[in-house]
Homo-oligomer: A and B are copies of this chain.
Amino acid sequence: MSIKLGKVPSIRRMPEYLGILNNLKKRDINDISTSYFAEKMGIKQINVKKDLDLLNVTGRTGVGYRVKDLIHGIEDFLGWNNTSNAVLLGAGNLGSALLGYNGFKKKGLNIVAAFDLKVESEKEIHGIKVMNISNFKDIVKRMHINIAVLTVPGEVAQKVADLLVDCGITGIWNFTDIKLDVPGDVLVQDENLASGLAELSVKIKMKFEQKYSEK
């Protein structure tokens, strides 16, 4: 599906604003200006301004924005005010790590169950039930699941994705490095660790080369 998103970089910055805002709230600070964010985040003030313009929030000229308004504005914008039920597929290293991450609920993601090909009898990891994948269809039918977090080994990723699609799941957060082949109405968000490492690698390489060309 080709949804016209626009502003992807702005969207990706929103959680960082939210983190800063929640911190301010904790410290009972009620008003904040774009230049504060800019300084904290190491970006330009005008960039922050443009990002916040996407929200349905008005600031007060000469004063700034209300922290409370921005928090609501961003949660609204991201849809993090009403929680989505999610399942996790593949309770290996990475999957287990994600099950142990408590921050998801605050981010509108409620992992209700996990499934694995290898798990025989039901068990729990970090308080979340892990079942054999054969139970998947039943559970999904009973609950309203919006998102599947895919952390299975690459070799079975497509097969599991097919099952997800078959069960009517239309949002997949894909942590495998396989490019999934899914129908057009299924959303896939690829999370690729290697991209970040590639970026860092090139930066290091450039710094190194720069160092030696400076002599």
Contact = CB atoms under 8 A, between A and B. Distances in A.
Interface residues of A, number: 60
B195 A15 contact: yes
A202 interface: yes
Contact of A12 (B5, B14, B78, B199): B199
Given A100-B93, A108-B201, A192-B16, A207 B179 contact: no
A3 interface: yes
Interface in A168-215: 170-171, 173, 177, 179, 185, 187, 189, 191-207, 210
Q: Report which residue of A3, A41, A203 has the largest number of chain B beta carbons within 10 angstroms of its beta carbon.
A: A203
Given A191-B196, A200-B171, A93 B101 contact: yes
A44 to B, nearest CB: 13
A187 B171 contact: no
B146 A204 contact: yes
A13 to B, nearest CB: 8
Contacts of A79: 201-202, 204-205
A40 interface: yes
A109 interface: yes
Interface string A1-26: 10101001001111110010000000
Contacts of A109: 197
A190 to B, nearest CB: 8
Given A173-B196, A200-B173, A3 B107 contact: no
Interface of A: 1, 3, 5, 8, 11-16, 19, 40-42, 77-80, 84, 92-94, 96-97, 100-101, 103-104, 107-109, 126, 146-147, 170-171, 173, 177, 179, 185, 187, 189, 191-207, 210
Given A5-B202, A19-B177, 11 more contacts: A1-B207, A5-B206, A11-B199, A15-B195, A16-B177, A78-B202, A79-B201, A92-B100, A93-B96, A189-B196, A191-B196
